[in-house]
């Protein structure tokens, strides 16, 4: 979560546990402690080191109780040295719990938090809210402002604020589970077995980005968690590639693959200088594109599989504007409805799969043959319905053909599989 919101939560925690004894100082120092764990971002020498270090040791579950206790003890000693007597226990609660609130909020986002660092680098994520969620932030702002104006009731107001904001996070988790269930039902109705993931979307709390993986493909779409309808999917091959293995074997590729927790895809393309390989994080994206998210890692290899320069971070350009922001907030083409093309019909049993299916009769929210993205660009639509005429009824047939052509080109270029 963004540092400002983390500081607000720390202030609410400080007010809640020690407002009666310490007054507004509990909120001010709680805000400082709530933001402190994000100082780990200062220790990364480059983008990939920051991915490894951020949300590491300072976000571990033990960090708040241990460092907070030490911080409280030093603070009380310092105050006594200056002739001011301070109670130890209230300050211990302020520092320890405000520090601990930081990773507990971060784990509710899809970014991933190393709660067990340094003993394990496993990343935990509950996908309840995006890393910036104005609705959650406003709850904290309102509660703290009211408590500041009513200091005699500040502790009680802070407790209510924490309870309401926690309920908001729980609602986000429920939306995610509902989105996963809706996507599972639609794919199962088509006879497709897939691993389904759902991720919150910036500025649209109810909407979820769905990422599903079959054996050979990635499927991406959007769904409204409050009123799930048929999802307009984009799909792309996700076949094993020796080029991708080579990128994953680099320091940068290994870190990025660990960071995505496996929710990634890749592309391999022939360039004038060699083979361009990209691994892309599918958790984040403003359009249903199964080929890439908003950022990834890229590398260029020659025909013998040697790196032509160090792998580097790639980020899709975002042409932000007021119009684009309003389009993102109010939905635009992102909301999922089964979108037919010339030979693509919405599944007849849509209403049975996802009742009541919002009354969709197969009409699309986007023009046939094109989809306008959230940023105003246009790209060819890639919707697919395995029950439609001309699709062959089995996406693996198409994926296998793409896989065969890609693998053949790679083998001819390399002359061997790189190890």
Per-residue pLDDT of the chain in tens (419 residues, 90 and over written 9): 999 999 999 999 999 999 999 999 999 999 999 999 999 998 878 899 999 999 999 999 999 999 999 999 999 999 999 888 899 999 999 999 999 999 999 999 999 999 999 999 999 999 999 999 999 999 999 999 999 999 999 999 999 999 999 999 999 999 999 999 999 999 999 999 999 999 999 888 999 999 999 999 999 999 999 988 889 999 999 999 999 999 999 999 999 999 999 999 999 999 988 999 999 999 998 888 999 888 999 999 999 889 999 999 998 776 555 555 555 544 433 334 454 332 333 334 443 333 333 333 333 333 223 333 333 333 433 333 443 333 333 333 333 333 443 444 444 444 444 44
Q: How many angstroms separate the CA atoms of 378 and 70, rounded? A: 56
Structure tokens belonging to residue 188? 């199962």
Is residue 180 assigned to a domain? no
CA distances from 135 to 87, 165, 169, 220 (A): 36, 9, 10, 26
Is residue 185 assigned to a domain? no
| Domain termination site, one of 145, 173, 201 | 173
Q: How many angstroms separate the CA atoms of 12 and 98, rounded? A: 9
Does residue 416 share a domain with residue 349? Answer: yes
Does residue 241 share a domain with residue 303? Answer: yes
Task: Determine which helix (DSSP H) or strand (DSSP E) holds 312, and give its type and residue range.
Answer: strand 312-315
Is residue 184 assigned to a domain? no
Q: Residue 298: beta bridge partners? A: 278, 312
Of 250, 5, 222, nearest to 106 (Cα)? 5
Rg, C-alpha atoms of the chain: 25
Does residue 155 share a domain with residue 229? Answer: no
Q: How many angstroms separate the CA atoms of 69 and 89, rounded? A: 9
Does residue 336 share a domain with residue 225? Answer: yes
Is residue 179 assigned to a domain? no
Q: How many residues does the chain have?
A: 419
Does residue 267 share a domain with residue 148? Answer: no
The DSSP-derived string for 76-132 is HHHHHHTT----HHHHHHHHHHHHHHHHHHHTTSTT-B-TTTTT----B---SS-S-
Q: Which domain holds residue 49?
A: 3-173
Is residue 181 assigned to a domain? no
Structure tokens belonging to residue 169? 């996070």
Does residue 231 share a domain with residue 353? Answer: yes
Is residue 27 assigned to a domain? yes
Does residue 406 share a domain with residue 279? Answer: yes
Question: What residue has token string 């589970």?
Answer: 177
Does residue 151 share a domain with residue 246? Answer: no
pTM over 0.75? The answer is: yes
| Domain termination site, one of 173, 203, 221 | 173
Is residue 78 assigned to a domain? yes
Does residue 196 share a domain with residue 151? Answer: no
Does residue 197 share a domain with residue 345? Answer: yes
Is residue 298 assigned to a domain? yes
Geometric angle at alpha carbon 229, from 228 and 230, rounded to 5°: 135
| Domain termination site, one of 173, 207, 239 | 173
Does residue 303 share a domain with residue 210? Answer: yes
Domain count, the chain: 2
Structure tokens belonging to residue 93? 């609660």
Does residue 157 share a domain with residue 271? Answer: no
């Amino acid at each position: 979560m963004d540092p400002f919101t983390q500081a607000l939560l720390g202030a609410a925690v400080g007010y809640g546990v020690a407002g009666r004894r310490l007054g507004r100082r509990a909120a001010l120092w709680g805000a400082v402690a709530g933001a402190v764990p994000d100082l780990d971002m200062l220790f990364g020498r480059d983008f990939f080191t920051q991915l490894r270090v951020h949300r590491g040791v300072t976000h571990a579950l033990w960090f708040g109780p241990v460092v907070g206790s030490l911080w409280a003890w030093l603070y009380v000693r310092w105050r006594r040295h200056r002739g001011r007597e301070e109670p130890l226990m209230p300050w211990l609660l302020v520092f320890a719990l405000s520090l601990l609130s930081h990773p507990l909020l971060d784990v509710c986002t899809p970014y991933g938090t190393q709660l067990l660092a340094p003993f394990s680098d496993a990343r935990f994520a509950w996908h309840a809210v995006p890393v910036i969620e104005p609705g959650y932030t406003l709850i904290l702002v309102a509660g703290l402002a009211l408590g500041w104006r009513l200091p005699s009731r500040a502790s009680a107001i802070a407790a209510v604020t924490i309870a309401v904001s926690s309920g908001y996070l729980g609602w986000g988790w429920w939306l995610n589970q509902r989105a996963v269930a809706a996507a599972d039902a639609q794919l199962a109705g088509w006879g497709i077995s897939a691993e389904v993931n759902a991720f919150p979307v910036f500025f649209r709390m109810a909407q979820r980005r769905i990422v599903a993986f079959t054996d050979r493909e990635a499927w991406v779409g959007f769904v409204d968690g409050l009123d799930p309808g048929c999802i307009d999917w984009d799909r792309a091959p996700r076949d094993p590639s020796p080029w991708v293995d080579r990128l994953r074997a680099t320091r940068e590729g290994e870190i990025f693959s660990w960071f995505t927790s496996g929710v990634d895809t890749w592309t391999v393309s022939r360039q004038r200088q060699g083979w361009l390989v990209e691994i892309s994080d599918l958790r984040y994206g403003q359009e249903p594109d199964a080929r890439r998210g908003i950022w990834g890692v890229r590398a260029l290899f020659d025909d013998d599989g040697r790196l032509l320069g160090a792998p580097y971070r790639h980020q899709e350009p975002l042409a932000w504007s007021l119009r684009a922001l309003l389009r993102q907030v109010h939905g635009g083409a992102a909301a999922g409805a089964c979108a037919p093309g010339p030979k693509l019909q919405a599944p007849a049993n849509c209403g049975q799969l996802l009742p009541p299916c919002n009354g969709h009769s197969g009409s699309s929210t986007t023009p046939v043959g094109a989809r306008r993205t959230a940023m105003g660009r246009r790209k060819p639509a890639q919707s697919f319905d395995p029950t439609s005429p001309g699709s062959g009824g089995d996406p693996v047939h198409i994926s296998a053909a793409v896989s065969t052509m890609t693998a053949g080109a790679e083998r001819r270029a390399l002359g061997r599989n790189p190890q």
